Amino acid sequence: MLYLFKLIFLLIDIKQETVLNWLGLEDPRFQGLPSTEYGNDASVLAPSADVSLETFRLIIDAIWLKLQTGLVLADIEAILFFIVFIRYLILAIRYNLKTALYITCIGIFSGYLWYRHFIELVSWYQVVLFKVPITRKLAMEIYQFKALKDIRINNPISDLRWSNPAGIIWRGLVRGSHDYDRNTMRDPISMLFANVPERFRDETDWFYYTIYRDFGPQVLSWLRRLSREISSLAAYTFATRIGKKYCPYFVRWHWTFILVFGFFERIFIGIAGRASQYNMGVVLPKMKQFGDSTGFLTTQYEMLNIIMTCIVFINMAFVIWAMLHAFCGQYFYFPFIVENTELHIGKRPKTIYSGGYTAWQDRDQTDVLGSLNTWYGWFGRGRNYKGKTTNKLQKFINKLFKKFRLFFRR
């Protein structure tokens, strides 16, 4: 099977056009083509060149242009998909297709948890992100998603989807007829109360309207809010506690890290939110009402903007860094949070499905006198790890440094 997998790659004719089309980039050969009524005239199109350094230059230029104009979720997902695909190919060559698929799916699920958390961060920080040109498009996209979600929630038939069978039953039995005719309620309970004898109507009608108009909607609204608040915690409990036998250690580690990290993250989210409210509610009204002849209010406004921007980008950079580690099947070390995470789920089992290295769990790496224990080598391999790649890189850097030194001696 492995030889067949290698043979498939030999049969694929990978040109520069293939790589650029797969990444969604424009081929420079199409620039300047004569146009016809049906589009560009491809009859004079030159053959596609082989993959070369020029191809990588075009890719880097396109990525740099995207970064300058701002990324959207589709761009981020394309980058993540490319990383996952390359990792799957490496694992398939190293192990086999089945094992590579299992390991890749574990990394995808763990990375998806961080990706969801990243989207939540953008929605929380969107007021600050709107002020930065690089992140303005991303904040606008999340704002549109939230607006569409609010429209769907306010839509009376939003519960009618296959993933919500309870909503279908409730809508069909209780609210179905009322959505089309606001003056009537044709459901089993309303029909039952409608057939109550006249002498009991005073008591039953009071009970009926109390349940349907006052008490019932409030209870349902409270239950919906409660389910939204505890749904993620309930899913975590069932997956990592009750069903930990079936949940890979790598998923449990990243999921627990997100929950523990969230307790400290809320502090910085609150600081950024309060600073934004103070700027918009106190500083700006004072500047408009009294002016700023001394420049103190302007300085205060700019300093608060700088503080908010630093908090937002440090937080988002850490989440992106953690998300890349998860998609690549790696662990990372962060003081205090990692220790609390591993107190809940234990140490990493020595299997190929458990992901990368965790040198901080080894006694010889942690018992170092005079060390703050904040760095455990690249990809958690350990401070004293020296592999073939590390030795080659070190030799290359030393050789390059010697050449620079000889050049300046002249």
Q: Which residue has the higher pLDDT, 279 or 177?
A: 279
The per-residue pLDDT for 404 is 60
Q: How far apart are CA 256 and CA 253, in angstroms?
A: 5
What does pLDDT average to over the chain?
A: 75
Q: Per mean pLDDT, which range of 58-67, 287-296, 381-390 is the poorest? A: 381-390
The strand pairing partners of 36, in sequence order, are 39
Range in 114-128, 187-201, 375-389 the model is least confident about: 375-389
Backbone conformation region of residue 339, classed left if phi is above 0, alpha if psi is from -120 to 50, else beta = alpha
Q: pLDDT, tens digit, for every residue of 290-304? A: 777 777 888 888 898
Q: Tell me which range, 36-50, 53-67, 92-106, 194-208, is most confidently predicted by mean pLDDT.
A: 92-106
Asked whether residue 91 is domain-assigned, the answer is yes
Report d(CA 55, CA 49) in Å as an integer. Answer: 9
Which long-range contacts (C-beta less than 8 Å, at least 24 apart) are formed by 136-139? 136/70, 137/69, 137/70, 137/71, 137/72, 138/70, 138/71, 138/72, 138/73
In which band, very low, low, confident or very high, does the pLDDT at 1 lie, cut at 50, 70 and 90? Answer: very low
Report the alpha-carbon distance of residue 236 to residue 256 in Å, rounded. Answer: 8
Rg (Cα) of the chain, in Å, rounded?
A: 29
Question: 370 falls in which pLDDT band (50, 70, 90)?
Answer: very low
pLDDT (average), residues 134-140:
84
Contact 359, 380 (CB under 8 A): yes
In a domain, 31, yes or no: no
Tell me the pLDDT band of 369, cut-offs 50, 70 and 90. very low
Q: What are phi and psi of 197, to 5 degrees?
A: -60, 155
- Could you tell me if residue 186 is inside a domain? yes
Does residue 397 lie in a domain region?
no
Instruction: Quickly count helices (H) and strands (E) in the chain.
Output: 18, 2
pLDDT(64) > 60: yes
Please state the pTM of the whole predicted model.
0.70
Residue 317 lies in a domain: yes
> What domain count does the chain have?
1
pLDDT tens digits along 254-269:
999 999 999 899 999 9
Q: How confident is the model at residue 10 (pLDDT cuts 50, 70, 90)?
A: very low
Kindly state the average pLDDT of the residues 336-360: 86
Task: Give the lowest-confidence range in 46-55, 212-221, 296-305, 356-365.
Answer: 46-55
The answer to the question of residue 351 being in a domain is: yes
Please tell me the predicted confidence (pLDDT) of residue 276.
87
Mean pLDDT of the 314-327 span: 93
- The Cα 70–Cα 60 span in angstroms is 15
Quote the domain boundaries for residue 178. 70-356
Q: Which residues pair with 40 in a beta bridge?
A: 35
Q: Quick check: is 352 in a domain?
A: yes
Q: Which of 166-170, 244-248, 383-387 has the highest mean pLDDT?
A: 244-248
Q: What is the pLDDT of residue 59?
A: 75
Average pLDDT over residues 82-89: 90
Give the model's pLDDT for residue 156. 52
Lowest mean pLDDT among 58-62, 163-167, 205-209, 334-338: 163-167
> 5 in a domain, yes or no?
no
